[in-house]
Amino acid sequence: MSFLSIPVLDYSLAQEPTKTHFLASLRHAIVNVGFFYLKNTPISPHVQARFVALGQALFDLPIERKLAVEMVHSRHFLGYSRLGAEITNLTQDFREQFDFGTELPPPSPDAPLYHNIKGPNQWPDESDIPGFRVALEEYLAEVSLLGDNFKRLIAEALDLPPTALDGFFDDPQQYKLKLIKYPPPESADSSPSHGSSDVQGVGPHKDSDFMTFLLQATPHTGLEVQNKAGQWISAPPIPDTLVVNIGRALEALTRGVCTATTHRVSLRPENFVDAQGNPLGPRFSFPVFQGICLDLSSDSLALKIPTHIADLVKDEKVKSDAEATFNSVFRGNIGQGTLIARITSHQDVGARWYPDLLAEALKGQKQQKQ
């Protein structure tokens, strides 16, 4: 049976004496759904509230202050993307966003090209938005700790030793935090990509990472998750939860036992009003993407999943509207797959810093589509 709802897991049960129960729900969620809500997270409410307030305010800066940190200036894909700058599933998305990450030095010049995914942030001027950097780094540090704990919980949910996944991560590991603003549909209607009422906030895709921890910061509906039969299931915000999902790296690591579930955000007008029909304004969401060691390739993914766990995956044929090109790239090398996904999403960055790889990736996409 393909899932029709998204399970809610209670993080307060993740320790003894209730841990076995938590791990059983986690196993069901990662093998059969690929998405779950997490309640009773260890994130401090005041840290989250301060980050959300400043994260929303960041979008109110004058456009020239935002363009001062535009992503095109960064070969590390960190910085500001204006409305319509991003492409998913060969179609323009309609959202404005800032990408930040764990603060890291640029890679050495002789490192593989895909190591450029990691590097320093472009921070807005402290005087433009006082306290923003501290608030973001505090929030990111707390979610990163939660992510670190999940490495072990996922291993145990798959009946592996708790440390079985530790070797697949860098130290320090890059986590990325994206701040996203989806405009209400009046402005979305003028999006060059559609003009219809079903505008793509972000198109159908699988995340590239190990796991994603998403904070839906406003009450809008619009996030939708595709079940294995291909139906779209709504994932409305549930107060005081994070939405957690599996990315392509964890899918690759488990050879498909855990599924990176396809999802999208729809900007249909009904997603921008409350139950009484009052307008809700823009939708804000803040996903944290948990990275993994970029040098992993299919040969180095030596994880042996116990047979009784692998046998839980019954419906092998998964219908997905996400782009198929990425399936083969991710089977090769995780860093290379991630770099190609970034380049095709942010083609201005690709054209400036990786022109040859962009040309090659676009050719691949075109061939796949034919």
Ligand X SMILES: O=C(O)CCC(=O)C(=O)O
Does 251 sit near Fe ion (CB under 5 A)?
no
Does 248 sit near ligand X (CB under 6 A)?
no
Among 78, 214, 305, 361, binds ligand X (CB under 6 A): 214
Site map (CB under 5 A) of Fe ion, residues 149-188, x = contact: ----------------------------------------
Q: Which does 285 bind (CB under 5 to 8 A by kind): ligand X, Fe ion, none?
A: ligand X
Does 263 sit near ligand X (CB under 6 A)?
yes
SS3 28: helix
**CA 5 – CA 222 distance, rounded (Å):** 15
Among 31, 143, 180, 341, binds ligand X (CB under 6 A): 180
SS3 247: coil
Q: How many CB atoms lie within 10 A of CB 226?
A: 23
Among 285, 325, 336, 345, binds ligand X (CB under 6 A): 285
Nearer to Fe ion by C-beta: 207 or 323?
Answer: 207
Site map (CB under 5 A) of Fe ion, residues 197-226, x = contact: ----------x-------------------
Nearer to ligand X by C-beta: 135 or 242?
Answer: 242
Does 78 sit near ligand X (CB under 6 A)?
no
Taking the alpha carbons of 217, 219, 223, 229 in that order, is the dihedral positive or negative? positive
Q: How far is the CB of 166 from Fe ion (least distance, A)?
A: 25
Nearer to ligand X by C-beta: 198 or 311?
Answer: 198
Q: How far is the CB of 298 from Fe ion (least distance, A)?
A: 23
Tokens found for residue 90: 């060969």
How many amino acids of this chain bind ligand X (CB under 6 A)?
11
Among 202, 260, 305, 339, binds ligand X (CB under 6 A): 202
Does 252 sit near ligand X (CB under 6 A)?
no
Does 220 sit near ligand X (CB under 6 A)?
no
Q: How far is the CB of 245 from ligand X (least distance, A)?
A: 8
- Backbone torsions φ then ψ of 26, nearest 5 degrees: -65, -40
Nearer to ligand X by C-beta: 50 or 342?
Answer: 342
Contacts of 204 (CB under 8 A, 6+ apart): 88, 89, 226, 262, 263, 264, 320, 321, 322
Tokens found for residue 323: 């782009």
Taking the alpha carbons of 124, 126, 131, 135 in that order, is the dihedral positive or negative? positive
- Backbone torsions φ then ψ of 78, nearest 5 degrees: -120, 135
Cis ω before 124 (30° cut-off from 0):
no
Contacts of 267 (CB under 8 A, 6+ apart): 94, 182, 183, 184, 185, 188, 198, 199, 200, 201, 222
Q: How far is the CB of 247 from Fe ion (least distance, A)?
A: 8
- Only one residue has tokens 């991560």, namely 169
Using CB under 6 A as the criterion, which residues of the chain lie in contact with ligand X when the complex forms? 178, 180, 202, 207, 214, 216, 223, 263, 265, 285, 287
